[in-house]
Structure 1
Amino acid sequence: MKLARLLLALLFAATTLHAQQSKQHVVGFMTDFDVKDDAIGICKAVMESIDPGVRVIDITHQATPYDVAEGARFLAGSAPYFPADAVIIVVIDPGVGSARKAIIAHSRRGQYFVLPDNGLLTLMPSKGENRIIAAREITNPAWMIGARLSSTFHGRDIFSPAGAHLARGDDWTTAGPALDVAKLVRIDIPVPTVDSTGLHAQVLGFDGPFGNVILNVPSETFARLGYDIGDSVPVTIDGRSYTIPFEKTFSDVPIASPLFYIDSRGRLALSLNQRNFAEQYKVSPGMAVIIPAKK
């Protein structure tokens, strides 16, 4: 009988632990902090202290410092791959300590986004299940690290603890007052246009360390120009003219040769096979790109 009771007790404990773990939400974590000092470790320790065993997936901590537009691009690109009940914390916050709000946004799909209200949500869809349907300002001290808040490290003091409270299942309506979703900050991110002279676009950024150049051009927009795989595409980048083939993948051209391709996110991009296009062609974010329609 004693052995049976012991086995039942162990089974109950294991079942309880599994139930507690199953309630925990995955936390996606993105910052521009880099990993050269202790900031990321501190933020994760704060999360762990509130929600022991919290599962944190690092999206990146090497976003370009202060670049909210890049953060918005990374957030919109990564969120669909996280579970429907995930909590995503983003700290790219050049206005830390100012009047900008610290907020939680909630999507129709069920995800929570813990971040400064500075435009990081700009590229989240306005329609469909991934759209933002509600938001709250984080004002409740119980959702923060404590009464002594730093004016320069809200990643530790506000965003990490708030995200951990969400991850362990706390009621988000207690974090602070509701906000009007329509009034959340949006930044101006240029969209490509097509007119009689062709496609007018812009360099968004680069593909990690490889120097591939990402354009703000969805594949369907580029398709309107009429180019097929294998075609030579004339392009002007920051006033300099080139002719570059449109190919399916890097190895379709010789090593050190350029190509246009559609990247894994469905955008038009430029690469130099096994070389760095951005460095060799001296390309930087924001440069104008013009591509005429196929003749």
Structure 2
Amino acid sequence: MFIAFLTDFGLQDDFVGTCHGVIKRIAPEAEIIDITHGIPPQAVLQGALVLANTLPYMPIGVHLAVVDPGVGGHRRALALEDAGGRLYVGPDNGLLIPAAEQAGIVEARELANPAYALESISRTFHGRDLFAPAAAHLAAGVPLAEFGPPIDPAALVRLDLPEPSFDDAVVGATALYVDSFGNIALNLTRDDLDRIGIVPGTRVELEVAGARCYAVVARTFADARSGDVILYEDSYRNMSVAISNGNAARMLHAAVGQSLRIRPV
């Protein structure tokens, strides 16, 4: 079985490799797909969105996700199953929910059975000692019910996803995450903009952190000149802000969670 693995561990340290080793010792036949380990530290919302966005492109298997600022605290450790047969392992901090709810959560369990964890569990590295072993045992065929007591899916922690606002043709948006190219993903879709007449070719004013600039709504980067700011639909069908051959987040001093205003001109 496949294990798709996502974390904020980075690749500078031994964390990812150690988790791979734990998984392979328990389930040598499991194939591990590293979605990314470049989620910014403690960025639970960004991790949740990346997990949900990439889910349709992953084989059915176990989805192991660890972005866990509450490690060692009172948050629960989870294993979930959705209606499509996918399994999820990670912290009960909202990280798994946007992905798991795409098909609907049919069963949730707290990871409480010591038989499916390492013998000694660190207070600060549940990825290695609790989540990776659970994912490996699930991949090896252990039934979900063996891992611990059931949890009502309605009682799982959920994230507050910001909603866009529309006021007199001014769109209020929020930066959801920034990718490694400096492109800024927004909580907007093409349909959101189409309904107020902001279509490809429209010139708009962007206001970020009190600073203003002009941008054009474009279909591709090729529609803009080098250095132009563009508003485009990204590969996951979210609207994003970019600079052709540049870094939008750096130029606009934009950060995750920041508000943006979009106004046609």
TM-fit CA distance, 1:205: 1.5
8 Å Cα contact 1:124/1:131 also seen in 2: no
Q: Does 1:114 align with 2:89?
A: yes
TM (norm. structure 2) is 0.95
Structure 1 match to 2:23:
47
Q: Does 1:137 align with 2:113?
A: no
Q: Distance in 1 between matches of 2:187 and 2:136?
A: 34
Compared with structure 1, are the counterparts of its residues 122 and 50 closer, same or farther at alpha carbon in structure 2 (3 Å cutoff)?
closer
8 Å Cα contact 1:150/1:157 also seen in 2: yes
Q: Distance in 2 between matches of 1:245 and 1:125?
A: 35
Structure 2 match to 1:224:
195
Which of 74, 78, 88 aligns to 2:54? It is 78
Over alpha carbons, which structure has the higher Rg?
1
Q: Does 1:93 align with 2:93?
A: no
Q: Does 1:206 align with 2:206?
A: no
Q: Distance in 2 between matches of 1:60 and 1:113?
A: 16
1:37-60 CA-to-partner distances (Å, cap 9, x unmatched) read: 211111111101111131000011
- The residue type equivalent to 2:32 in the other structure is V
Structure 1 match to 2:127:
155
Structure 1 match to 2:215:
244
* Structure 1 gap ranges (5+): 1-24
Structure 1 match to 2:206:
235
- The residue type equivalent to 1:44 in the other structure is H
Q: Does 1:291 align with 2:262?
A: yes
Structure 1 match to 2:141:
169
Structure 2 match to 1:257:
228
SS of equivalent residue, structure 1 residue 123? helix
- The residue type equivalent to 1:89 in the other structure is L
1:165-216 CA-to-partner distances (Å, cap 9, x unmatched) read: 1111111110001100001001212111223353211111212x21111111
TM-fit CA distance, 1:289: 1.3
Structure 1 match to 2:44:
68
SS of equivalent residue, structure 1 residue 62? coil
TM-fit CA distance, 1:133: 2.1
* Structure 2 gap ranges (5+): none
Q: Distance in 2 between matches of 1:114 and 1:125?
A: 10
Q: Distance in 1 between matches of 2:187 and 2:97?
A: 14
Q: Distance in 1 between matches of 2:10 and 2:96?
A: 21
- The residue type equivalent to 1:72 in the other structure is A
Compared with structure 1, are the counterparts of its residues 125 and 235 closer, same or farther at alpha carbon in structure 2 (3 Å cutoff)?
farther
SS of equivalent residue, structure 1 residue 77? helix
Say what the alpha-carbon RMSD is for the aligned residues: 1.5
Structure 1 range deviating more: 237-246 or 60-69? 237-246
TM-fit CA distance, 1:122: 4.1
TM (norm. structure 1) is 0.86
- The residue type equivalent to 1:34 in the other structure is G
Counting matched residue pairs gives: 265
Q: Does 1:192 align with 2:127?
A: no
Runs of 4+ in 1 over 3 A off after TM superposition: none
8 Å Cα contact 2:209/2:260 also seen in 1: yes
